[in-house]
Amino acid sequence: MTLTMTRRTAMALGAQATLIALTGSAAALASGAPRSGTATQAASRTGQRFDVVIVGGGSAGAVLAARLSADPQRRVLLLDAGPDYRADQYPALLANANLVAASPEHDWHYHSDDAARLGHDIGIPRGRVIGGSSAVNAAVAMRARPADFARWAGRGIEGWAWPEVLAAYRAMENTPTGDDAWHGRNGPFPVRQRTAAENTVSMRAFVTAAESVGLPHVDDFNGTRQHGVGPYPLNVVDGVRINTGMAYLTAAVRARPNLTIRGRAETDRVLIERGRAVGVVLVDGDMIPAGEVILSAGAIGSPAILLRSGIGPKGHLGEMGITTVADLPVGERLQEHPFFYNVYALKASAVAMTPAAGAIVWTRSRDAAKDDLDLHISGTHLIDPKASPTGGAIVLACAVTLPASNGSVRLASRDPRIAPRIRYNFFEQENDLDRMVEAVELSRRIGRSAPFSELIDHEMAPGASVPDGQALRRNIVANVAGYQHPTSSVPMGADGDRTAVVDAWGAVRGIAALRVVDASIIPDIPSVATNLTTIMLAERISAHLTT
């Protein structure tokens, strides 16, 4: 990841975080990757040709590979820049659900370019491995809400009404608890509702203290009601984070003769001939022909690949010396949840810190629309215990989950080994900051309430020296991070939406045989962690492609 867990903690405490520089030989490469040759002139170095090439084996790509290769007549290639592990071979740093973005070897080392606005850049951990960011995240398995999909409909997007979406969520899920009307029992993806008994004593106290300030208890955030506080639902089984590589690319799926999975194969660009995608070019120059190309490289990777392929804003492509193939608003609507760490040192009697992900408040700000829940306070122990003078800490991390501010993804170079320029533009809309202040003030109110307050030694961040009001507002801006939920950089939209890049099923406008299927096409960021929704999106689009 861009910041190790210790460094990430330091950012939460307001310390100077040191960004890890990009590794490899990128600086020595020429400014542009090889641009000659066509897919129709040569097959890949393996001599194989594929009906579908999927770029990126993460939360969406692994699903697509499993579903599309179920047809034995369809030859599918799944490419990923990171290593390909079988389900039982993931290293402990990835399998252990109490560690988040803990393995630099499996990260893209992205960071934002927001120093001019915020006074600091923001680390952007993204998984570089089969399983993608589902292999490095906090394993939160919470669905987007009906109100989130109502906003899709408000944009004129058809096919994503709540009854259809709920059916897809249920079909992909296997969970032993909850109401049958809301939960699936036989799907590939495990969802387990954490119980109070499983949580640490301080996490249980956080939930009780939140209830004492007026928040209702929620037994099941994937059920009928989300407003309130309760333990997380997680895709964790016996302490193991079950990523999509594990859940979807099983031994039986991998045994299919028509599915090829190729790890450590980084994609530079899509080959386009006469307005049609005909293959991909890898960073090493290998050209792979394809009947269809699907980009599932995520909200940072997919727009970068499109831009290098000549698909994007004409002015920006001209600046990069790239010929425009399709003038589309790629990278112009990036969104992310701003995140602020309210950190407490635990008393010696309550320093237990596992399991790490425990409980969450999901509520609404004073300015929220009628059906929206736009604030989170996420209770975790995702902090190095050495950062606390008592040897234990709890993080109440606050987020604005329906931000109005938009960021962007742009190329810094034509060289695919140089990270794109990512700007989150947090708090460009003043109301986003207003709502973040409201979330932190609520978090601190919970922190002062029994029984939570009885287990707390002191507030570490922002600390007693930062009172509510303008001082807190300044501290939030100086220390804001990201929730690791980037979306909407290649957004879907109705035919008349000039800000959209793809249609409701991920097809890129004006380019045949090219789709994008990942969090980048979500039209605006949902009010919760995005992993479950990204998986659902891939399930529904793969079903659309196979019917």
- Output the DSSP codes for 55-99: E--STTHHHHHHHHTTSTTS-EEEE-SS----TT---HHHHBTT-
Query: Is 416's pLDDT higher than 90?
Result: yes
The pLDDT value given to residue 49 = 85
Answer whether 333's CB lies under 8 Å from 423's CB. Answer: no
367 by DSSP, 3-state: which?
coil
Summarize the confidence of residues 55-69 as an average pLDDT. Answer: 98
End-to-end CA distance of the chain, in Å?
39
Q: Which helix (H) or strand (E) holds 534?
A: helix 531-546
At 47, phi and psi to the nearest 5?
80, 0
- For residue 346, which amino acid is it? L
Q: Which helix (H) or strand (E) holds 115?
A: helix 115-118
Task: Check whether 341 is labelled as a binding-site residue.
Answer: no
User: Rounded to the nearest 10 degrees, what angle do helices 430-447 and 470-479 cross at?
Assistant: 100
User: Rounded to the nearest 10 degrees, what angle do helices 430-447 and 201-212 cross at?
Assistant: 110
Distance CA 107, CA 395 (A): 23
Query: Is 357's pLDDT higher than 50?
Result: yes
477 by DSSP, 3-state: which?
helix
Active site (catalytic) residues: 485
Answer whether 406's CB lies under 8 Å from 25's CB. Answer: no
Beta bridge partners of 342: 396
Query: Is 27's pLDDT higher than 70?
Result: no
The pLDDT value given to residue 25 = 29
Architecture of domain 195-231+338-402+428-479: 2-Layer Sandwich (3.30)
Confidence of residue 547 (pLDDT cuts 50, 70, 90): confident
The pLDDT value given to residue 2 = 27
* pLDDT, tens only, 164-173: 999 999 999 9
The pLDDT value given to residue 38 = 52
Distance CA 121, CA 114 (A): 5
User: Cα separations (Å) of 445 from 29, 211, 360, 453, 469?
Assistant: 53, 12, 15, 10, 14
The pLDDT value given to residue 13 = 35
Query: Is 514's pLDDT higher than 60?
Result: yes
What's the pTM value of the predicted model, to 2 decimals?
Answer: 0.92
The pLDDT value given to residue 48 = 79
* pLDDT, tens only, 371-388: 999 999 999 999 999 999
* pLDDT, tens only, 91-135: 999 999 999 999 999 999 999 999 999 999 999 999 999 999 999
Distance CA 199, CA 350 (A): 12
DSSP single-letter state for residue 405: -
Confidence of residue 497 (pLDDT cuts 50, 70, 90): very high
Summarize the confidence of residues 168-197 as an average pLDDT. Answer: 97
Closest CA to 10 of 413, 343, 283: 343
Query: Is 187's pLDDT higher than 60?
Result: yes
Closest CA to 499 of 350, 328, 369, 345: 328
Answer whether 302's CB lies under 8 Å from 275's CB. Answer: no
Query: Is 34's pLDDT higher than 60?
Result: no
Task: Check whether 139 is labelled as a binding-site residue.
Answer: yes
Task: Check whether 129 is labelled as a binding-site residue.
Answer: yes
Task: Check whether 138 is labelled as a binding-site residue.
Answer: yes
* Residue range 44-193+233-334+405-426+485-547, CATH number: 3.50.50.60
* pLDDT, tens only, 461-494: 999 999 999 999 999 999 999 999 999 999 999 9
Distance CA 176, CA 169 (A): 15
Distance CA 408, CA 428 (A): 12
Task: Check whether 140 is labelled as a binding-site residue.
Answer: yes
Answer whether 342's CB lies under 8 Å from 397's CB. Answer: yes
Summarize the confidence of residues 29-46 as an average pLDDT. Answer: 44
Distance CA 53, CA 523 (A): 24
What residue segments make up the domains of the chain, in order of their start? 44-193+233-334+405-426+485-547, 195-231+338-402+428-479
Task: Check whether 97 is labelled as a binding-site residue.
Answer: no
Confidence of residue 45 (pLDDT cuts 50, 70, 90): low
Closest CA to 478 of 125, 124, 121, 110: 121
Average pLDDT of the chain, as a whole number: 92
Distance CA 402, CA 169 (A): 21
- For residue 69, which amino acid is it? S
Confidence of residue 361 (pLDDT cuts 50, 70, 90): very high
